[in-house]
Structure formats: structure tokens, C-alpha cells
Amino acid sequence: MRGEWAESVFMGRASEHGLPVSKPWGDSESFDCVVGRPGKFSAVQVKCTISELKSGQGYACSTCSSGKPYRSGSFDFLAAYVVFEDAWYIIPAKVIRGMKSISLLTEGGKYEKYREAWHLLREAAELSGDSKGEGCAEEPAAATSAGRFPTTALGRMEEAADFVRRQMEGRGGDIRKRSDDVDV
């Protein structure tokens, strides 16, 4: 159940960063989501953790399935969510290949360079500087006036609500107005 929740949080956060994200139907794939556009998708395995290390210096995150490491080619990126830190680690699969778990630390540590590394997904999907306009992600909708993303869950929810409101206004009014036009 927490896995499905983490996947939905990942899809929301990826969208906030202007990344097109999709969820394959069913659970038969070795990845949870894809990010990108036709012709250039990256497969993402989503994990989350609340398992604090005994030292209190970070969190243990499983990087395996049914106790076995993922096979090479199973996915392109691991997106690991540290729930209590509200932090995402976007880690290339080749970095964790063959491992059953990794330690994600709040300060220092081997994987800190991947903390909030959403640019890696953008680069892999070749979304940076796409001049064609086709399949190009819009600018992140949840950027605040200072050009930064909200840092709290409440801030992201407020920005998401504002985004939906702006989208509805751009399509001819709010949802209440449109529902009044429907014959029942």
C-alpha cells in the first residue's frame, strides 16, 4: 500500500518539475513509471523508506525485489523517497546495480549528489531545450514567485490547487460553471 502511495507522490513531484510521467497498466513490468516523451522514455523504479538507521544518521532503502537485486536493464533510474525528510533521490540504475539496499543520509554520504536530482530524468528524456515544442514539458507549474519549488507538502498542495484553478480558468471557467451546463 505504501508503495502505491509513493508512486503517486513521485508522479505528482515529477509533474511539478515539468516532467511528463506515465504509469504502466498493471504490475507486470520491472519498473513503476516512465518519464519522457515518445521515442525517449526512461523507466523508473520507485521506492520509499521510513526505516531509520540504528545510528540515526540516515535511512535504509531497499533496492531489490523479493529479496533479490534487480537484473541489469530492469529500469533506468531508482527514485527513492525518504518520507520523514520529504526528499527524493534520483539515482541511475547502474549506480545501485546488484545491491539489495542502500543508505540514504541527511548529510554527506555516497548518494547525496542524487538528492533532488530531477535534472537527471530531464536529461535522460532529452527534455532540456527541446525547441520542437512537441512532447516538450511545460515549465514547472508549482514554481513559486521566487522561482523555487515549495518545500513543504502544504505548499505543494496549495501550488497544485492554484495550478488546477489556472487550468480551469484557461478552459472557459471553473468547474462549477461547466457542471451547471450539463442536463441531468
Output the nine-digit C-alpha cell for 176. Answer: 462549477
Instruction: Determine, yes or no, domain membership for 121.
Output: yes
Across the range 25-54, mean pLDDT stands at 88
**Domain housing 96:** 2-130
Instruction: Determine, yes or no, domain membership for 182.
Output: no
Same domain, 76 and 107: yes
Q: CB of 79 within 8 A of CB of 70?
A: no
For residue 21, is pLDDT > 60?
A: yes
Of 71-85, 110-124, 133-147, the poorest mean pLDDT is in 133-147
Instruction: Determine, yes or no, domain membership for 181.
Output: no
What's the CA gap between 82 and 181, in Å, rounded? 45
For residue 175, is pLDDT > 50?
A: no
Rg of the Cα trace of the chain?
18
The structure's pTM equals 0.69
Same domain, 145 and 126: no
pLDDT of residue 108: 75
Instruction: Determine, yes or no, domain membership for 183.
Output: no
Which of 120, 56, 65 is closest to 90 using CA atoms?
120
What's the CA gap between 33 and 9, in Å, rounded? 12
Instruction: Determine, yes or no, domain membership for 17.
Output: yes
Same domain, 160 and 113: no
Output the nine-digit C-alpha cell for 71. Answer: 537484473
Average pLDDT of the residues of the chain: 79
Residue with cell 523508473: 44
Same domain, 28 and 78: yes
Same domain, 124 and 150: no
Give, to the nearest 10 degrees, the angle between helix 2-16 and helix 153-170: 60
12 — pLDDT class (breaks 50, 70, 90): very high
pLDDT digits (tens, 9 = 90+) for 110-136: 999 999 999 999 999 877 644 343 433
